[in-house]
Each structure stands twice: as C-alpha cells, then as structure tokens.
A and B are shown apart, each in its own frame.
Chain A
Amino acid sequence: MAVVETEHAPEATRQAPLLSGPLGMLAINIVAVVIGVILWGLVTSYGVVGLPTPMAVVTQAVIQAESGLLWSDALASLARVFTGFALGIIVAIPVGFLMGWYRIARAIIEPYVQFFRTIPPLAIIPLAIVTMGIDEMPKIFVIFLASFLSSVVATYQGVISVDRTLLNAARVLGANDFTIFRRVIVPASLPYIMVGVRIGLGASWSTVVAAELIAAQSGLGFRMQQAQLYYDLPTIFVSLISIGILGLIMDRIVMAIDSVLTAWQEKL
C-alpha cells in the first residue's frame, strides 16, 4: 500500500505545469482522498484504533444498499430537509425583502430574528416535540427555522446593500418603486440570497441529522442512533459517510445554480 502512495507523488510533481488547472486540482483532490482512505485502512487493520476497516464499512454499505435500507434512510432525511428548507426559503425571501425595504417592518421583525438566531435550532426540539408531537412536524419545523433564520438575514443584507447609484439610475430613467424593486432590488440582492440559501441548506442538513438522533423512526440519523445501541460501528460509518456525501452534493448543486444566476458579477 505504501508503494501506491509513493507512485502517486512523483507523478504529481512531473505534471507541475498542469496542476494549476482545474483538472490538475481535481487530480490532487482524488489523490488526497485515496491517501486518506489508505491511511484509514492502515490504522484500522493494524488495530491502532478500534474503528471498522474501509472494507467492513463498504460491506455494510452494500448490505444496506441491497436491502434498500440505505436508500429509504437517505430518502427520509432528504425529504425532511427539502420540505423544511424549501418552506424556510419561501418565507425568508419575502420577509427579508420586507425588512430591507420598509424600515417599519425591519423594526418589528429584527428583534425576533436576532433573538432566535442566537438559539441553536436543536435547542427548540424539546419544545417542538412537546407542542407538535413526535411525527414529522417538529423535525420539519426545526429545519424550517434553521434555513429561515440564515436566509432571512442574507436577503435583508442584500436589499440594504444595493448600490444607491443603481437605484438613482433606475429612478432617473423613470422607474417607479415597483419597477425598481422588481428590476433592480431583486437581481442586485440575488448574490446575497444565494449565500443565504447555501448557508441555510448547510444548516438544514446538520439540523436534520441531529433531529433524527433525538426523535425519529427513520433517516440516516435514526439509523446511527440505532446502531449505537448495538455497538454497530460499520453502520455508523455508512450513515456518516452518506451524510457527508449527500451534504457535499447538495452544496455543489447550490453552487452550480449560483454561478449560473450570478454570472454577471464582477469577481475579483
């Protein structure tokens, strides 16, 4: 295994001029991951740490995938995230615009937003379970809260950061308030909104897993919690890695959408 490692290194240095390109970066990414997995294999197979080997985790993943358990767990978690996240964004964007556009709305809403932002969404779970029962409602509510709070602040920031000269430029071309809102405020705050969406999605994903650990009958977090009872480390690893991969994929999708929507930005 150590041989594989040394084979990769000189190859990487030989391609030095290529390495700065996107393909070169991807190659380094892959090499880094491969080395990480090899190290993991080494420390576990020699018993340095009492963790499952990569093979044991892969075997467990195949078993779970064949029985369909992995997919139904992932689907359950994703469904909760998307419901809560979508609701959060749908409410946060208009509220954020309202806060940015009307001082009165800002004065009314801001204390609540700032207060609830300081409470970790997970701390709401006991309250949510007591008041909403143990089915999907409390989990979706907590995810909604997590994505709403991060997106509303970003949207509001976007609106108040719009370049005043652009507003004046629209005004002198004859634009009324509605036109300015639709054709200047909305596009100009889009980059901020996308930052909020990205943070909101990250917050939703970490919240769903934690919420499932506390109270759920399905999902990746629930599966880990079950595995913990039976000291089933490979299952915990399968869930953890699935959570990481799904989170990464979702983040990359948001980034790709963002780069299309805000391609007009002058990036330094």
Chain B
Amino acid sequence: MTPKISFRNVRKTFEIAGNAAFTALEGLNLDIEDGEFITVVGPSGCGKSTAMNIAAGLTAPSSGQVLVDDVSVTGPGPERGVIFQQYALFPWLTVRENVEFGLTISGKSKAERRRIADHFIDLVGLTDFANSLPKTLSGGMKQRCAIARAYAVNPKILLMDEPFGALDALTRVQLQDQLLAMWSKERRTVMFITHDVDEAVYLASRVVVMAARPGRLHKVVDVDLPYPRTEEMRLSSEFSELRNEVWRAVYHPAAAA
C-alpha cells in the first residue's frame, strides 16, 4: 500500500541576511499511512512546522519533495486541511460562515453548505454559537470552530500545527479527547505538530521525534496503546514508559542516539 503522505529527502534552507543559509530541515524521510494519526514533537528550531508547511503546500522545499497519494505537492489544496495555532478564523464571519467558507469555494449549494456546516458545528459542540462572531468565543471554542472548518471541506489529511499550544491545560485535555473522538468517527490521516510530550504520546499511534540544528528526524516511537484512549491510559505505566522514552529522545537527543 502506498503511504498517504511521503516525505522524500525534504530539505529546507532559509537565507539569513549577511550570513550563510540556515538549514531548517535536513533530508527528512517519512511515510504516513492512510488513516494514521502521527504526532511530531521536538524542540523549537527542529523544523517540525516547516515540514508541516511544506506538506500543506504553503512553503516550497529547497530540495526533495512531499508526495500525497503519490502526487507531488506543489501548492495548498482542499484535500489537505490545515489547523493553525492562532486559530486563523475570519473575525468578520460568524462560526457558521467560517465553517462554510471552504464549502462556498467548492461551489456547494446553499442548503448543502448549511447541512454540512451544521453537522460539523454539532460535532465540535458549537451549535449554540453557530451565529456568534469569533470575538465572543474562548480560545478553546475558536479552535473547535477551526477544526470544524477544516473538516467541512472533507480533507483526506489534517495537518495541525500546535493547535492546542495556546490553550490552558484543562481545555487542552478536553480538546485532545474531542479530537480523538472525532477522528474515530470521521477517520482522516492526521499529522499533528506539538511541543508537548504528553500530548504527542496520548494522541498518536506513532510519535516522530525531531532534533534541532539542523532540523532532522531523530527517532520514531510506536505507541502500542489501543484506541479509544482513556484517562486511565494516561495514568498507566505503559503510558509513562512511552512518555519517558519520547521525553529522553526530545531532550537528550545525543544520549538517546
């Protein structure tokens, strides 16, 4: 079976004024299977967001390529939904209008847009706020709206760039569970960027650990815990072993290697 997303020797360098080029990403090779939920964790400067932006088609690689269904990525496309850390909701549109944004572009009829939007708004629990403007929502609600908006255009892949990074710990845990519940209902291939080791282990079937200077893949940790994930699992010894393994790989890349 061909992988859903395939990073093939992806390299990205940035020019720094008056200085040599900075290598954000060095020869990344990674295959993500269809329907898989992987998390990418690593210190800042490890190129995890760069990798995601290249897969999203928002940044061009300096060399190498990303294949989605064996087709090289050349730009953004609605089959790859992106969820940003800063929510990126259109503040002049209501929750429903935000969720309908992508559906309007794909030329769906008004009734069809309404039906799909309401379905996903319901799924993220924002039905009571469908007609509210983003400024009236909390951070967690904004991100739920952004998730509904990404899901609405029916992408095969969800690329999430530290989506819960700006939220408080409690909201973060709630959204992790909601995201997993949604993922098991509406299965998509997910690439989830985070700097939180607990989050990385709790969500993923595989954790990709990256290292910095130059940004590169360091280690892949398989998470053998079954889905659905539960609070008890979070407290289990298997979980803490996995978490320790990822933690060591993130914070002591040389020692772990």
Contacts and interface: CB of A to CB of B under 8 A. Distances in A.
Interface of A: 163, 165-166, 168-175, 179, 183-184, 187-188, 190, 263-266
Interface of B: 56-58, 76-78, 80-82, 84, 86, 88-93, 101-102, 105-106, 133-135, 149, 153
Contacts of B58: 168, 171-172
12 contacts: A168-B84, A169-B84, A169-B89, A170-B90, A172-B78, A173-B101, A174-B76, A183-B90, A187-B90, A188-B92, A263-B133, A264-B93
Nearest to B57: A172
Q: Among A163, A169, A179, A264, find the residue whose CB has the most chain B CB atoms closer than 10 A.
A: A169
A173 B56 contact: no
B102 A174 contact: yes
Contacts of B76: 168, 171-172, 174
B86 A165 contact: yes
Interface of A is mostly: helix
Closest 10 CB pairs of A and B: A173-B102, A169-B88, A174-B78, A264-B92, A172-B82, A165-B88, A266-B135, A172-B76, A187-B92, A174-B105
A173 B153 contact: yes
Given A163-B86, A169-B88, 4 more contacts: A172-B58, A174-B105, A183-B90, A188-B92
B56 A172 contact: yes
Contacts of B90: 166, 169-170, 183-184, 187
B147 to A, nearest CB: 13
A172 B92 CA distance: 19
A172 B106 CA distance: 12
A158 to B, nearest CB: 13
A237 B92 CA distance: 45
Contacts of A184: 90
B82 A169 contact: yes
A186 to B, nearest CB: 10
A163 B87 CA distance: 12
B80 to A, nearest CB: 7
A78 B81 CA distance: 52
A264 B135 contact: yes
A183 B101 contact: yes
Q: Among B78, B91, B106, B134, find the residue whose CB has the most chain A CB atoms closer than 10 A.
A: B91
A152 B1 CA distance: 56
B106 A165 contact: no
A116 B92 CA distance: 34
Nearest to B75: A171
Nearest to B81: A172
B86 A173 contact: no
